[in-house]
Homo-oligomer: A and B are copies of this chain.
Amino acid sequence: MSEQVHIDGLQYINWTRERFEKTRDAGLHCVHVTITYWENFRELVANVEQWNRHFLQHGDLIMPVRTAADVLEAKRQNKLGILFGLQNCSPMEDDLGLVQVLHDLGVRIMQLSYNNQSLLATGCYEDNDPGITRFGKQAITEMNRVGMVIDMSHSAERSTLEAIELSQRPIAITHANPTFFHDALRNKSDTVLKALAESGGILGCSLYPFHLKDGGDCTLDAFCQMIAQTVELMSIDQVAIGSDLCEGWGYETLEWMRSGRWTFAADFGEGTADNKSWPKQPEWFEGAQHFNNLAQGLAAVGFDGSEVNKIMGGNWLQFFEQSFTPMQAAG
């Protein structure tokens, strides 16, 4: 597939008709949307139902993406393709059979942990990372079988390296940056990025200010230079965009993302008590309407047209192509 597509490897938006239209009009053909953080299975189903209502009510603007081909179909129909993903494994509860059920409901990407220890893996804010759990090994095998991508964006280093090693299929880090660019617990070491690259995996570079050098003051040039350096570390086929764009939410949503039901105290995540709310986006990426600025920035640091297309969506499309269908031989 060499057709040019623009894909954002992660957004968490308070979707309205206006925001669907803005994102479609920005030239995006597919967005990986987060449908749960801490929800259990039944709560996930309620969120899927809400999305089904979006597809009915705004079917002129959006359509579900379940396969790579659906992205191209969305482009043909001038629609925004919506790809379901989970930022945590909580919706599969303690039940391995729910992996296939979630896949049947359209989920194509799932993080094994979100900041904290999960039943499967360790999160990036834990003090200790004992690696992939017994249940986690089973989940990886089952995700491989049904065609659900393992995403380690919010996971800790040892768990991430083990997931790369254990998974029979390439995995993703949908939204994070290298620590060489900005040293944060949520960003990824060279060791992780090299192992990811060697296993055929993919990195979506993030525009969430806490992942950027100089936060909201990061320049487009610095961001694109980081991508160039990451391409050297990995390859031109394995670096993409996962903007982590959050839009339209109040502080209470950020509280839910950070504290879920696991603490009664305030947890400030990447923020601080003094600076706890949503961070200010760089002015060259305040929303989906600025997605094309990235293409210009990439060209400005020396990528040619074909390379820009890969980073802007072609690499995700290629990765989706090999990731979402069931494996032929059952485990």
Contacts and interface: CB of A to CB of B under 8 A. Distances in A.
Most buried by B among A41, A49, A56, A98: A49
A271 interface: no
B100 A330 contact: no
Interface in A260-300: none
Interface in A19-78: 41-42, 45-46, 48-50, 52-53, 56, 59
Interface string A304-331: 0000000000000000000000000010
Contact of A45 (B41, B50, B52): B41
Task: Report the copy number of this chain in the oligomer.
Answer: 2
Q: Contact residue range for chain A?
A: 20 to 34
A313 B48 CA distance: 35
B41 A95 contact: no
Contacts of A56: 330
A181 to B, nearest CB: 40
A166 interface: no
A170 interface: no
A108 B195 CA distance: 44
Nearest to A59: B330
Most buried by B among A50, A52, A53: A52
A293 to B, nearest CB: 36
A101 B41 contact: no
Contacts of A100: 49, 52
A59 B104 CA distance: 18
A95 B330 contact: no
Contact of A106 (B41, B52, B104): B104
A97 interface: yes
A51 to B, nearest CB: 10
A233 interface: no
A105 interface: yes
Contact of A97 (B42, B52, B59): B52
Interface of A: 41-42, 45-46, 48-50, 52-53, 56, 59, 95, 97-98, 100-101, 104-106, 330
Given A48-B101, A49-B100, 7 more contacts: A41-B42, A49-B95, A49-B101, A53-B97, A56-B330, A104-B104, A104-B106
22 contacts: A41-B42, A41-B45, A45-B98, A45-B101, A46-B97, A48-B101, A49-B95, A49-B97, A49-B100, A49-B101, A50-B97, A52-B97, A52-B100, A52-B101, A53-B97, A56-B330, A59-B330, A101-B105, A104-B104, A104-B105, A104-B106, A105-B105
